[in-house]
Structure 1
């Protein structure tokens, strides 16, 4: 296609920063340059590359040339990493004129000064103005993925550039341009080269986030052969030493909208879940072995496994997952998975708890997640989350509850439907507050080995007392527990088999610190 050169540049971004959002609209103007350039791409959808300039700044010298060369290098780097992981001729789409080594950059002059586009709170203002531009120029937006580069605002005393947003935010990512962001500095180890590696590596890292990639790190065995995972700390090594995309990264990119030349709809809603999982440690293989089944109304291409350690109580999840070590496997048939994860590839094998995030990578680019808790004891994994054969819920009823919301009643926790659940009463003031409880009547005396629970995605209960009774009047304490907020069915074994008819979950606190309580399903099992 033939276009007027409006701007330049697509990017990736650093992993040192966090994400935010907020919308504000404003008029925007594209800076038109005088040269006609022919930009083409073999892809039907391409990265939206935006150079966004606050109204009290200007573009930096040679930004189109510098950023074009770096973006073409990045496109090829990703292509080579995809090939290494078994995906030939796959990389992100980007409009370019290869005869002059330029990529299409949409340069937009903002309506506000740089103080309104700060790192901490300016991303929403930038997004709003870019969206306004795309609304006025709909053919300029060719995909759901947008890389925004802003010129640096200033230099610190040591020469380090400083500026606006620099992080991933959904399918948007932000990065910083400065005069030394030049391919001539790639691979240098002097002061300028080290600075370049941090900022360019950061750009590519954040681009990874904008292309749907979470953090993860290299396996122990990959340190010597492959080096540093880009989505861990590649912002300090890219261009200087081995820096790579993991197999999990490439499996997710393989189904990315701008990595595929087709017309299908990407990132649509779907229904999928893991229906059974078996987890065991094989002493013979010295590995964690996982297998199971899933159901999905959209094809699953890969299954990826993120093992995220909570080292020194750092937490797990977004921005606390840099040290998650990962594996990938292909779907077996249409509904099964299997993987072996050697424990020699785990860096942390102390008593730190782990969260296993098992993700189904669907053909439409959507990734769905199930999470499971485990830990290492004496350097060996203790895995207690395998699916249990629960007893039938026929004849069960709700004997009592502290409160319920009419749209999320207590009976939902025994309806065999994981998509429904109970929520404490909140719509009528005053809302019910802790403690909250539900008592289940099994209909007859049973001797059981443990219970299962699916905690809420929101308002998840945290600290609970588990009580049991034979008559529904006199209750004994079975245990005091903390129910992790994982979004998957969790198993809790009794210290010894218990005989009871009535079972009470007494919730005393929530994970979000608020007064509301919610969980989805409760069951029991016999070994």
Structure 2
């Protein structure tokens, strides 16, 4: 009897050992992370320079390479899906690891300056630019994404800086996104849970927006008829689930004008050509505006010797300007983009542009006034303005220029009644201020 019991328990033990071995092997095949190899392959001739910047009194955070690779790949996919909606099969290029494509090349730059010496985006960009100046072979493009461990729980350096690669550059041709909110829990796996997203990824929308700014996009809002929120607009709090949502974060995307603009950006292309070479020349000569049957009719006549890919017409209601002061210079400054973040863009593509004579063209577009959210009509002054998308990645006006809204000829003001459902009045004289 004892021999039978011993034999029985030996059989049970053997079954458990085999079962445990099988579980370990299966788990290993699914969950064990394959470390990145030494080599990377670029997805295009020009690709984003991704950096992990470490001040002298900080250190890298656990799993930084894995976490930030997946965050960046998420951002890349976000831009791809938005671009595909408008017929562009492209996104910004990266360098992907050959052994494990869940890793991208991220250069870890350790500064000899402490956090007390690095207080602004400009301080960071100066350090990063100095590194690549000393290591020119590692420079892949004019665009950068710089991650930084968060300094403390109450502050972080973040934003987009538009600069010149060289002092002699004719245009601002360098875009740098600085994101200083990296923590140990900044991990894309939290994206699937509303609660986890609010707790661990509260600034993911800011990263996507600042990336757009570093690609020379200007702020712009969604229209009332759009079934989405603009990632370049002023509803970022809804990205992580605050307030009324439309299924966040999937409800955020680029606009058609954003997609057309990005299609010419250096790191979105694999065309071996020069980008951002010359400042374009555009002169707006005439605006024709008409309002009838709840529809706005806009025509813009302009001259340019350069190739125009598309024109963005902004309906800018200026609801955010301070103290109802129309001439506030802060709203014409490249350092304050907030006043442009609620403008609604309409895109005129090149095949809608009519050549009148030589370098004189006329671009026309109509849009329903119902596209304007009623709640936004809170000022008596508004404007229609234009931005030209040029071949080769430049714009007019270009990001980084002193006046992001262009000179007086680029903008046509109009009046609004101070009431719900107000209609535009284009009969008043143009009061745009230089």
Alignment match of 1:278 (pick from 272, 278, 288): 288
Q: Secondary structure at the match of 2:316?
A: strand
- For 1:247 and 1:51, the matched residues in 2 are separated by 32
- TM value normalised by structure 2: 0.74
Q: Secondary structure at the match of 2:341?
A: coil
Does the 8 A contact of 1:197 with 1:240 survive in 2?
no
- For 2:232 and 2:432, the matched residues in 1 are separated by 30
Q: In structure 1, what is the equivalent of residue 16 of structure 2?
A: none
**Aligned CA distance change for structure 1 residues 243 and 367 (closer, same or farther; 3 Å):** same
- For 2:151 and 2:377, the matched residues in 1 are separated by 44
Alignment of 1:262 onto 2:308: no
Which stretches of structure 1, 4 residues or more, deviate above 4 A after TM superposition? none
Does the 8 A contact of 2:187 with 2:201 survive in 1?
no
Does the 8 A contact of 1:214 with 1:231 survive in 2?
no
- For 2:249 and 2:192, the matched residues in 1 are separated by 4
Does the 8 A contact of 1:54 with 1:112 survive in 2?
yes
Q: In structure 2, what is the equivalent of residue 129 of structure 1?
A: 127
Q: In structure 1, what is the equivalent of residue 348 of structure 2?
A: 329
Q: In structure 2, what is the equivalent of residue 143 of structure 1?
A: 141
Give the gaps of 5 or more residues in structure 1: 1-33, 157-161, 386-449, 453-482, 487-527
| Higher helix fraction (1 or 2) | 2
Alignment match of 2:193 (pick from 176, 183, 188): 188
- For 1:236 and 1:312, the matched residues in 2 are separated by 19
Which structure is richer in relative contact order (CA contacts within 8 A, separation 6 or more)?
A: 2
Bigger CA drift: 247-256 or 350-359?
350-359
- For 1:309 and 1:292, the matched residues in 2 are separated by 19
Does the 8 A contact of 1:201 with 1:236 survive in 2?
no
Q: In structure 2, what is the equivalent of residue 167 of structure 1?
A: 159
- For 1:152 and 1:351, the matched residues in 2 are separated by 39
Per-residue deviation, 1:291: 1.5
- For 1:383 and 1:187, the matched residues in 2 are separated by 47
Deviation readout 1:66-113 (Å, 9 max, x if unpaired): 1111111111111111110222x2111111126411111111001111
Does the 8 A contact of 1:187 with 1:240 survive in 2?
no
- TM value normalised by structure 1: 0.61
Q: In structure 2, what is the equivalent of residue 216 of structure 1?
A: 220
Alignment of 1:374 onto 2:414: yes
Q: In structure 2, what is the equivalent of residue 179 of structure 1?
A: 184
Backbone CA RMSD of aligned residues: 2.3
| Higher strand fraction (1 or 2) | 1
Per-residue deviation, 1:321: 1.9
Deviation readout 1:277-335 (Å, 9 max, x if unpaired): 2111122xx22111132222221111102222222643645222221111111122553
**Aligned CA distance change for structure 1 residues 99 and 372 (closer, same or farther; 3 Å):** farther
Deviation readout 1:344-363 (Å, 9 max, x if unpaired): 11123354311322011111
Alignment of 1:344 onto 2:370: yes
Per-residue deviation, 1:185: 0.6
